[in-house]
A and B are shown apart, each in its own frame.
Chain A
Amino acid sequence: MTKVYNNRAWWLILPMLLLVAFSAVIPVMTVVNYSVQDVFDAHTRFFTGTEWFREMLNDPALQAAVLRQFAFSLTVLAIEVPLGIGIALIMPKKGWQASAILILVTMPLLIPWNVVGSIWQIFTRGDIGLMGWSLRELGYGYNITSSPLDAWVTIILMDVWHWTPLIALLCFSGLRSIPDAYYQAARIDRASKWAVFRYIQLPKLTNVLVIGVLLRFMHSFMIYAEPFVLTGGGPGNSTTFLSQSLTTMAIGQQDLGPSAAFSLIYFLIILLVTWVFYTAIMNMQKDDNNQEA
């Protein structure tokens, strides 16, 4: 019997398509239009062609911001993913402890970005902040407004504190969905804890980890409010990430043409990295399935 596919349900996504066109496609088209012109007002504009793109690609400050951004995103991913998996593995699975820990772990995710920045700003102050004061009393001259290293470590610590729970929660739900039969089989084989993790838990976590890593990469690549509140991009430019450079250019200096060109480059970087990442992991899975079959 041949199965008849009815594709009429596709019409149901039409309202969504219109909404996305209104909220994303048309604005992006406008950005593209701005990126090739020097727009003064509604009636005065000049065609500049590729000039803004050339300028942006050769701007040393922006090149540095791109490298800084990659360094930041890769660092937080390298810390948050293993840490999140670890936390998920030791979280209790049943009883009131499970609920209590779950609430405790979720807490940082509920706090708005700029509030997180403010919390850490106060937390790290040398005169009244618990962390800043303690480190100073211990003899370390901790100061995020003058030492780039301190600023960097603090921002990474802040991001880890804010977002590791996301990975932990995703992994926790992934772990809960593994049927008990797998563990029973492992016990019969007297598999070690490591073997259970490597051959049962980790493969079953791949799907949630893909989502987790993609979300964390995109989030961290677009990070704005937290470092802006905590360090304002300083000391110097040492913690100025891409969206802050962009905001300074677009809102602060009203350079709409160059910032449009820069946004498109920014967008292309995110698009490429997420696509490569997604494709790589999906193909890894496909290969695994082929081997099993």
Chain B
Amino acid sequence: MDWMVWTTPTAVFFAVIAAMLVGMTAWEVVSPTVERKGFLPIATTRGDRLFIGLLSAAYIHLAVVGFTQLSIWLALGGSVIWLLILMRWG
């Protein structure tokens, strides 16, 4: 594992992603997703919305880090809120 040069933040990051995938699988087994149309222009399933949320989170982080002086925690907070809105009403 040493050659992968792990750091705490990246380990936490991947652990959270893995936990999300496991959680989504469990949720799908308990109550299968139904495709529906929210405020997004396309009909989406739960997994679609999670993917859109994570992808936009990546871009939010890049924009904040690259083009503003704001703290990255702000980007993280914003992304989490956006992800929750997307999961609920997207």
Specify whether A and B are partners: yes
Residue of chain A at shortest CB distance from B2: A42
Report whether B13 and A32 are in contact in the complex, using a CB–CB cutoff of 8 Å: yes
A283 part of interface (Cβ distance < 8 Å): yes
Contact with B along A41-68 (1 / 0, CB 8 A): 0100101011001101110000000000
> Which label, helix, strand, loop or mixed, suits the secondary structure of the A interface?
helix
A268 part of interface (Cβ distance < 8 Å): yes
Please measure, in the bound complex, the distance between the C-alpha atom of A36 and the C-alpha atom of B5, giving whole angstroms: 10
Query: Of A37, A42, A50, A283, which one neighbours B7 at CB under 8 angstroms?
Result: A37
Residue of chain A at shortest CB distance from B56: A272
Least Cβ–Cβ distance between B63 and chain A, in angstroms? 9
> Which label, helix, strand, loop or mixed, suits the secondary structure of the B interface?
helix
Q: Which residues of A contact B39 (CB under 8 A)?
A: none
A191 part of interface (Cβ distance < 8 Å): no
B31 part of interface (Cβ distance < 8 Å): no
Report whether B10 and A33 are in contact in the complex, using a CB–CB cutoff of 8 Å: yes
> In the complex, which of the residues B5, B6, B67 has the most CB atoms of chain A within 10 Å of its own CB atom?
B5
Least Cβ–Cβ distance between A257 and chain B, in angstroms? 10
Least Cβ–Cβ distance between A277 and chain B, in angstroms? 13
| Sample (11) of A-B pairs whose CB atoms are under 8 Å apart | A26-B4, A32-B10, A33-B5, A33-B7, A42-B2, A56-B66, A58-B67, A265-B62, A268-B62, A272-B59, A283-B42
A-side interface residues toward B, CB under 8 Å?
Answer: 26, 29-30, 32-34, 36-37, 39, 42, 45, 47, 49-50, 53-54, 56-58, 265, 268, 271-272, 275, 279, 283
